[in-house]
Amino acid sequence: MKDILMLKYIIFFLLLCSNLFGFEKHDFRLDAGTGVSRGNTHLTQFTYSINYNLDYLDNTLDLVISGEGEYAEDSEKKLNNRHVLFTSLDYRPLNVLPLTFFYFGSYSTIEEQSIYFRLYQGAGIKWIIADFKSVIVSVSIAPLYNYEIEWNKQVKDYLRYSLRPKLVIYFLSDKSCFLISTLFYQPKIRNTDDYRIEWTTALTI
């Protein structure tokens, strides 16, 4: 019940901001589902996802808030408790310049990874190297801060920096079908031998 009340407060706050600050476009989507299975596996599950996007002054300022989560338990009361909230803010001072200043942060609890609370945030600059309408190439750089508390109360915090090349290919003029390929390189600032490399590619139709 508390999660439902909190979700209502979040929705009310987003709608209030869109009216007070005159955002030109705003989109909201909420998905939720539940499932119960009985037999060899007794499982009760609830999932949800939210997404809110605000645009201001012809895409000069973009705010995105999204979240997803899952709560499940089986007959032995083993829980799969996972909740993630993500926020991002992009600011382009001049649309004629290929520069974007951005901030992003995520707040999560993931019981299956023994993470009671994780705060992950960063801020940096994105530079559009090439924009051919149907093909966009960009690169961004940002310092990252990670703070997490495990279920055993152990605390971890560290700094990384992120270098991210990104390729977007639009196959249709209305941009309804596109391919996004992103490479993340994220070494620790004090120990560059400890790094993450992640490459993702997704096709949206």
Q: Which of the pair, 12 or 145, is modelled with greater confidence? A: 145
d(CA 123, CA 158): 15
| pLDDT at residue number 39 | 59
Q: What is the per-residue pLDDT across 20-66, written as a single tens digit (0 to 9) for each?
A: 455 556 677 777 777 776 655 566 778 878 877 777 656 677 888 88
Report yes or no: 200 and 174 within 8 Å, Cβ to Cβ. no
| Sheet with 79-91: strands ordered across | 25-37, 43-56, 61-74, 79-91, 99-110, 115-131, 135-150, 155-170, 178-187, 195-204
Tokens matching residue 98: 């290929």
Residue 20 parent element (H or E): helix 2-20
Give residue 146's region: left, alpha or beta (phi > 0; psi -120 to 50): beta
| pLDDT at residue number 75 | 66
Q: What is the per-residue pLDDT across 118-147, written as a single tens digit (0 to 9) for each?
A: 898 999 999 999 988 899 999 999 999 999
Q: What is the per-residue pLDDT across 106-121, written as a single tens digit (0 to 9) for each?
A: 888 887 778 888 898 9
Q: What is the per-residue pLDDT across 145-170, written as a single tens digit (0 to 9) for each?
A: 999 998 888 998 989 999 999 999 99
Report yes or no: 136 and 126 within 8 Å, Cβ to Cβ. no
Find the Cα–Cα–Cα–Cα dihedral 8, 10, 14, 15, rounded to 10°.
10
Q: What is the per-residue pLDDT across 170-193, written as a single tens digit (0 to 9) for each?
A: 998 887 888 999 999 999 888 889
